[in-house]
Amino acid sequence: MIVSDDQKISIAGTSTLHAWKMNTKTLTGVAQFSLTPGHQNQITSVQSLSMSLEVLTLKSSSKALDKNAYKALKTEQFRNITYTLTAATVFPENNNRYKIATTGNLKIAGVSNEVYMDVFCTVNRDASITCSGKDALKMTDYNVKPPSFMMGAMKTGDELILDFTVVYKK
């Protein structure tokens, strides 16, 4: 289960005027990690992992930007962005830290795509697991039209950077 106080997710992009960023700390999800028997700080595999975030919890410093983003993401029809892991390979690093090469299905605005991402996980002293990652996505890959306003004079770029840190607890 995800610990709500210890997480952060941001989506960042560009526009013809300036860079922008939307953040949330609201995310739900569950994961099942296999640990080495007798060594509860050693991850051997990831059996399952899923996450869901309500789009309307993403906020920027501009209400107008938020409104345009919600419209582009079709929140009237699709309230959540979801991710479901389909495969993972664990690579031990050091000090209870692991690189996990993941494959999963990311669903945005009703369109699901397979994504590949390296996720870095650390087994903490309290047996919780902190996972973080960063990946570039394109809005058009999810049939999301990059928002424009002021009659097209202002346009957002197609590429987004998803950056997250989540903590899973037993």
Q: Are 147 and 156 in contact (CB under 8 A)?
A: yes
Which residue did the predictor score with more confidence, 169 or 147? 169
Q: Would you place residue 103 in the very low, low, confident or very high pLDDT band (cuts 50, 70, 90)?
A: very high
Kindly report the length of the chain.
170
Place of tokens 């526009």: 15
Is the full-model pTM beyond 0.85? yes
Return the beta strands (E) in the chain as ranges. 8-13, 20-24, 28-36, 39-54, 80-92, 97-108, 111-123, 129-138, 148-149, 154-155, 159-168
pLDDT tens per residue, range 16-65: 777 889 999 888 888 999 888 777 788 999 999 999 999 999 999 888 88
Residues 6 or more apart in contact with residue 37 via CB below 8 angstroms = none
Q: Tell whether the model's pLDDT for residue 8 goes beyond 90.
A: no
Domain residue spans of the chain: 4-168
pLDDT tens per residue, range 80-92: 999 999 999 999 9
Judged by average pLDDT, the poorest of 83-87, 114-118, 165-169 is: 165-169
Q: How far is CA 37 from CA 41, 98, 170, in A?
A: 10, 17, 16
Q: Would you place residue 165 in the very low, low, confident or very high pLDDT band (cuts 50, 70, 90)?
A: very high
- Nearest to 75, CA basis, from 52, 55, 51, 53: 55
4-168 in CATH: which number? 2.40.128.110
pLDDT of amino acid 68? 86
Residues 6 or more apart in contact with residue 109 via CB below 8 angstroms = 72, 73, 74, 77, 78, 142, 143, 144
φ/ψ of 143, rounded to 5, equals 55, 35
Beta partners for residue 82, in sequence order: 52, 107
Quote the mean pLDDT of the chain: 88
Measure CA 132 to chain center: 9
What's the mean pLDDT in 63-75? Answer: 89
Largest CA distance in the chain: 63
Q: Would you place residue 1 in the very low, low, confident or very high pLDDT band (cuts 50, 70, 90)?
A: low
